[in-house]
Amino acid sequence: MSKTLIVWLVAWITNIGAVLPAMASDICDDSSKTGDVCICKLSELHPTQASVGMMEIRIRMEKLKREIGGLSEQDFLSHMREHNRMEPIVIGPGGTFYITDRHHLARALYDLGETRTYCKVLDNLSGLQPEAFWRHMKDSNEVYLKDHQGNVIAPRDLPTSIGELRNDPFRSLAGAVRESCGFHNDNTSVPDRNYLEFKWADYLRAYWAQTSIQVDDIDAHFDRATQAALHLVIQQEAAALPGYTGKTSCQ
């Protein structure tokens, strides 16, 4: 075999590998198995929480614009997979895809106009009846049943798409507190890591009356509100929360 032919074959195989992520065999469906990494439509992802922090979404969108702006869909998908930015999903009754984490990333991508991303299948429970499915999700701490105001809800009250997620400004504050090392969730020693930010959001909500900032003004005066939140998370009442650090900065 000539060197020219060998070079051509290597280039052809490399190009085929580059387009594999977009092939139909990589598409998530109700037969996808635990551990599979596949492409899913953002519009088909069902949240396992009722709200997000819209200020955190805006911050993520600005970062994503710098990171993926101008990339083709194929390059975008490759980038997300290479950087382990996959949406974790559980396949529920009827083949419905439920994301159990990274709701903020999914919503930011959705608002930026992306239509598809990579998902990683944590479990396929499509054969369960709804009641058994939601019991499993609760027992596994893979669903957060409170609304954007901290009120308890039922699974039927969850939004059916990431575009329907409501704004909880305290969730944005919890994210800002985490970034300032006011608490951490970056290792397995922290119990109940799933939805940990919401536990801190609920704490901030409960003690927010100690500040002079109206809830409706949090997003408009986010830097000031973040400083007020950092003051609250070092108080003794916060010490029992998972991931507590007693810090107001990472310095």
Nearest CA to 42 out of 204, 156, 165 is that of 165
The CATH number of the domain covering residues in 169-238: 1.10.8.10
Question: Do residues 160 and 92 lie in contact, with contact meaning Cβ atoms separated by under 8 Å?
Answer: no
Domain boundaries, given as residue ranges, for the chain: 19-167, 169-238
**What whole-number percentage of the chain has pLDDT above 90?**
84
Over residues 108-136, the pLDDT tens digits come to 999 999 999 999 999 999 999 999 999 99
DSSP letter string, 185-230: --STTSTT-TTHHHHHHHHHHHHGGGSS--GGGTTTTHHHHHHHHH
Nearest CA to 80 out of 64, 91, 104 is that of 64
Q: What predicted TM-score, i.e. pTM, was given to this entire model?
A: 0.86
Mean pLDDT, the chain, as a whole number? 90
Nearest CA to 222 out of 178, 176, 184, 182 is that of 176
Question: Do residues 153 and 114 lie in contact, with contact meaning Cβ atoms separated by under 8 Å?
Answer: no
The CATH number of the domain covering residues in 19-167: 3.90.1530.10
Instruction: Name the token pair of 229.
Output: 């939140």
Over residues 156-213, the pLDDT tens digits come to 999 999 999 999 999 999 999 999 999 987 655 444 567 899 999 999 999 999 999 9
